[in-house]
Amino acid sequence: MTASDQPRPHSPGDAFVPKYRLPDWYLDHATPPADPAPVAWHSVDNPAIDFAARCRMCAAAEVVPVTIRSHQGLLVWMRGQSLDGPWCRRCGTSFIRKYSTRTLCLGWWNPLSLLVGAPAALVANAAAYRQLRRLPPPVPLPGHPQPDLGRPVLQRPPAYVALIPLACCIALIAALVSRI
Ligand SMILES: [Zn+2]
C-alpha cells in the first residue's frame, strides 16, 4: 500500500463530496422542512398572539368587549368620554371605578346631563361591571402591568358630590308636591 492510498484525516480545505445522491423520486416527495424554531409562549413579541382580542391594558386573555363611560356637564357645556374594550376583570374594574367616580362628581351640572348624560353613563358602567365580574382573575402577559384596582366607588369622597343634585331634585319635587 502506497502513502497515497492511506486514509487521511479531513483538513479544513477539504470540500465535502457526497458519495451518493438522493434519488429524484425521494426529492419530489420529501416532506418540507419543519417551521423555524417556535417562539416561546412567554415571549412578549410572540406574533401568534392576537393582541386585538386581549385586554387593552395588560394583554390578558380573559376579557369581555365592554365600553367604559364617563360624563361631565356644566351649564351649557357637556363632555362624554369612553374607553372601548376588550377589558379583563381587573383593568375594567379599575377604569369603571375611576370613570364612575368622575361622573358622580362632575356629571350633573347641566340639565341634559342631569336627566340623560350622567345616568346613561352610570347605567352603562354598571352593566359592564356585571359582565366583568363573571370573568376569572386575569393573567397578564409579562411586560404589561395592570393598573391599581383602587377603592370601590362608594369609598371615594368625590362620588358623594352626587348627593347635592340628588338633594336638590328631592327638594324641588317636595316643593312641587306641597303646592298640590
Ligand atoms: Zn387587563
Which of 47-51, 78-82, 100-104, 164-168 has the weakest average pLDDT? Answer: 47-51
Question: Measured between alpha carbons, how far is 112 from 120 in angstroms, rounded to an integer?
Answer: 11
- Ligand 1 center to 32 CA (angstroms): 40
Q: Could you tell me the pTM of the whole model?
A: 0.69
pLDDT tens digits, 119-159: 999 999 999 999 999 999 998 888 888 999 999 999 999 99
Residues above pLDDT 70, as percent of the chain: 82
Residues above pLDDT 90, as percent of the chain: 49
Averaged pLDDT for residues 105-114: 90
- Ligand 1 center to 114 CA (angstroms): 31
- Where do the structural domains in the chain lie, given as residue ranges? 51-178
- Ligand 1 center to 174 CA (angstroms): 45
* Under 8 Å between Cβ of 46 and 40: yes
Class of residue 119 by CB neighbours under 10 A (exposed 0-12, middle 13-18, buried 19+): middle
Q: Taking ligand 1, which is a single-atom ion, which protein residues have CB atoms under 5 Å away?
A: 55, 57-58, 60, 88, 91
- Ligand 1 center to 79 CA (angstroms): 26
Determine the 3-state secondary structure of 48 from DSSP.
Answer: coil
Question: Measured between alpha carbons, how far is 152 from 16 in angstroms, rounded to an integer?
Answer: 73
Nearest CA to 58 among 147, 172, 120, 146? 146
Q: φ and ψ at 69, to 5 degrees?
A: -125, 155
Averaged pLDDT for residues 161-177: 89
Averaged pLDDT for residues 85-106: 95
Nine-digit cell at 87? 377589558
Alpha-helical runs (H) found in 14-117: 24-29, 89-106, 111-112
* Under 8 Å between Cβ of 122 and 103: yes
Residue 169 has pLDDT above 50, yes or no: yes
Nine-digit cell at 175? 316643593
What one-letter code names the amino acid at 156? R
| Average pLDDT of every residue of the chain | 84
